[in-house]
Amino acid sequence: MNTPIKGFSKLTKEEKIQWLAKTCFTDEKEGIATLKMYWNDDEALQRLHDEFIENTISNYYLPFAIAPNFSINGKLINIPMAIEESSVVAAASRSAKFWLDRGGFKAKVIDTQKIGQVHFIYNGDKQKLSDFFNSIKPLFFEATEPITKNMQKRGGGILDIELRDKTAEMPNYYQLHATFETVDSMGANFINSCLEQFAKTLKEEAMTYNDFTTSEREIQVVMSILSNYVPQCVVRAEVSCPVEQLNEDKGISGQAFAEKFVLAVRIAEIEKHRAVTHNKGIMNGIDAVVLATGNDFRAVEAGVHAYAAKDGMYRSLTHAEINDGIFKFWIEVPLALGTVGGLTSLHPLVKLALEILGRPSARELMQIVAVAGLAQNFAALRSLTTTGIQEGHMKMHLKNILNQLKATDGEREKIISHFKDNTVSHSAVVEMLHNLREEKATS
Ligand code: MEV
């Protein structure tokens, strides 16, 4: 068993790698070479990446791709995506093209409020706490002025602060529940700084509040933190067209396709096993854009899935209907995103991704990301309800299989051409490669 190491973070990068190689690598030389293969020659750029996190020893690459031709509210947008899954960008591009000819995507932001909470314990008279809160409420705003000044100039700030009684769920548990507008920044640091100041003000003011008894003055702040559940930071995106326009090359009428599609969405609205996979497909699109634009995909994931379960049962984030011969398909999704601050001004590819998108505001980015999710879901359901998912998926995965099998350029060309009209499977590719190599050996 490995022995624990003390002071790892204090070692130089080279020392960390040497230690790791000795401790974990089967082939030390090869392992070290792999790590260094991903270093950037530009030292300043490498330092920038090293300093994003602690204990950096290399860079972890993901493909950065473009899904072009998205028409969103009449504007043509090329969407950058960072993702490893073979079929995602191809699927997004196909959806973009499909809807480009049918009126494009429409998107609108419903609201942009973010939430933060100070969780605290107060053992005393409820009415006194409520009176105390109301008497000191203006102080929360005053004490945070140095933090909120700049945000206010940009049109944001603290929207409201409420006292919430949570004692039905846990004895003596209360919250300061605050709402924020953070305009173009994701706002995590801003919100957390405000919350920590609220907590300080709460404790300090309680200590000198005349109506409190000595024990009531002892408010215990448990923690102050933003919430990644943002059901009031929501965007809606939709597509619609007459059902007959859905009739394309899938050997099924527009009406039949629309009806089957609506059924598929309905199943994801009422059945949680399907809902999770359905929403996973949506997140293929959402995460890829969130990541490419330097936003916090873990926060988005957590918030989105909580939203999908907001009525107590996990459900589809998208919905579909046919009304008067019009097929409509839409998504409503919470997205707390930023286009300033954080990685957006640090990571060169993130800056470029935002440039590709035309330097969007956070509201515009919310719309783009929601569209990417809807487009991805449309592509998945379109395949699932017609040809099945594997046909397209395996076609895209073919190159990964060829790389795994270390196929030469000549072999790749022959195999890719063969599988244009044949079903791709791992074993079929292995067999063809084997046959090609045998043929070569005997010729
Ligand atoms: C695969 O990454 C995503 C899908 O499973 C989504 C879905 O089933 O809707 C294809």
Each residue of 365-379: pLDDT tens digit? Answer: 999 999 999 999 999
CB 389 less than 6 A from any atom of ligand 1: yes
Q: Which of 277, 263, 367 is nearest to 315 (CA)?
A: 277
CB 285 less than 6 A from any atom of ligand 1: no
Please state the atom number of ligand 1 nearest to the C-alpha of residue 278.
9
CB 278 less than 6 A from any atom of ligand 1: yes
* Helix (H) or strand (E) segment spanning residue 109: strand 106-109
Predicted pLDDT at 394: 80
- Going by pLDDT thresholds of 50, 70 and 90, the confidence category of residue 395 is confident
Q: Which of 183, 161, 167 is nearest to 125 (CA)?
A: 167
Q: Enumerate helices (H) and strands (E) in the chain, giving the number of each.
A: 16, 10
CB 277 less than 6 A from any atom of ligand 1: yes
Predicted pLDDT at 250: 66
Ligand 1 centre to CA of 252 (Å) is 21
Fold agreement (64-111+231-387, 114-227): no
Indicate the domain borders of the chain: 8-50, 64-111+231-387, 114-227, 393-442
- Going by pLDDT thresholds of 50, 70 and 90, the confidence category of residue 249 is low
60-66, long-range: CB < 8 A, 24+ apart: 62/291, 64/292, 64/349, 64/353, 65/89, 66/356
Considering 49, 119, 278, 393, which one is annotated as catalytic?
393
Query: Are residues 17 and 57 in contact, defined by beta-carbon separation less than 8 angstroms?
Result: yes
Q: Which of 308, 248, 289, 301 is nearest to 376 (CA)?
A: 289
Class of domain 64-111+231-387: alpha beta
Mean pLDDT of the chain: 96
Q: Is 42 a catalytic residue?
A: no
Q: Is 85 a catalytic residue?
A: yes
Please give the model's pTM, rounded to 2 decimal places. Answer: 0.93
Q: What is the mean pLDDT of residues 130-144?
A: 98
Chain centre distance of CA 313: 21
Ligand 1 centre to CA of 281 (Å) is 4
CB 281 less than 6 A from any atom of ligand 1: yes
Ligand 1 centre to CA of 205 (Å) is 53
**DSSP conformational letter for 185:** B
Ligand 1 centre to CA of 87 (Å) is 10
Considering 205, 287, 296, 364, which one is annotated as catalytic?
296
Give the CATH fold of the 114-227 domain. Alpha-Beta Plaits (3.30.70)
Separation between Cα atoms, residue 230 and residue 215, nearest integer Å:
35
Nearest protein CA to atom 3 of ligand 1, as residue: 281
Ligand 1 centre to CA of 443 (Å) is 44
CB 382 less than 6 A from any atom of ligand 1: no
| CB-based burial, 335-357: b 16+ in 10 Å, e otherwise | bbbbbebbbbeebeebbebbebb
Hey, which of 84, 269, 277 would you mutate to test ligand 1's pocket, going by the most ligand atoms within 8 Å of its Cβ?
277
Query: Are residues 164 and 174 in contact, defined by beta-carbon separation less than 8 angstroms?
Result: yes
- Going by pLDDT thresholds of 50, 70 and 90, the confidence category of residue 37 is very high
Separation between Cα atoms, residue 228 and residue 186, nearest integer Å:
11
| CB-based burial, 148-182: b 16+ in 10 Å, e otherwise | beebeeeebbbeebebeeeeeeeeebbbbbbbbbb
